[in-house]
Structure 1
Amino acid sequence: MSQRSRVINLYKTLLYLGRDYPQGYDFFRRKCHAAFMRNKDLNEKEAEEWVKKGDYIIKELESLYMLKKYRTMKRRYYPDD
């Protein structure tokens, strides 16, 4: 997969995950777009590092959302003590 397509795929994935962001989708989209535009002129090595950071952010967002779902399920089915 070419680097350009990896960056586009990363951007799309981040926007998809941003739908459930606690501060709202618009806030997430603006920040994400600004970060990608700020780094649009990087060389290949620097761009690869940022793609790796982006993959890490995706994993962190997924774990944040899973924790949120777990806490919601726990509150629904177990009484507060």
Structure 2
Amino acid sequence: MSANSTRLRALALYKELHRLGRDYPDPNYDFLGKLRRMYEKNRHLKDPEEIEKALKLGEYIKNETLALYSLRKYRHLKRVYDPAPLPKPPL
């Protein structure tokens, strides 16, 4: 894989993570700051295997963040549309 295509993959992943980070539910967790620091920390990587490992970690973080958002959406919909629990009948 060429260096240019790896760079483009890294930039695309950064953009996706940045978009996801805008809506991160916990305002005290500095998602965008941590994202930037992670990319700055790995900017010196030259070994293709290390770069691939870092990109896989970024993909994992993206998938976990998407799962977090889906769970949050599911919980909200359940809370809104789930009828109030019925009282248990006496035995």
TM normalised by structure 1 equals 0.89
Alignment partners' CA distance in 1, 2:6 and 2:33:
23
Gaps of at least 5 residues in structure 2 are 86-91
Is 1:68 matched with 2:87?
A: no
Q: Which residue of 1 aligns with 2:41?
A: 38
Alignment partners' CA distance in 2, 1:47 and 1:80:
51
% identity of equivalent residues: 43
Cα deviation for residue 28 of structure 1 reads 1.3
Cα deviation for residue 45 of structure 1 reads 1.5
Between the two proteins, the alignment pairs up a number of residues equal to: 81
Alignment partners' CA distance in 1, 2:24 and 2:12:
19
Higher relative contact order structure (alpha carbons within 8 Å, sequence separation ≥ 6) = 1
Report runs of 4+ in structure 1 exceeding 4 Å deviation.
none
Root-mean-square deviation (CA, aligned residues, Å) is: 1.8
TM normalised by structure 2 equals 0.80
Is 1:53 matched with 2:69?
A: no
Q: Which residue of 1 aligns with 2:83?
A: 79
Gaps of at least 5 residues in structure 1 are none
Which amino acid in the other structure matches residue 67 of structure 1? Answer: L
Kindly provide the CA deviation profile for residues 19-55 of structure 1, in whole angstroms up to 9, marking residues without a partner as x.
Answer: 111223x821111000100110012210111101111
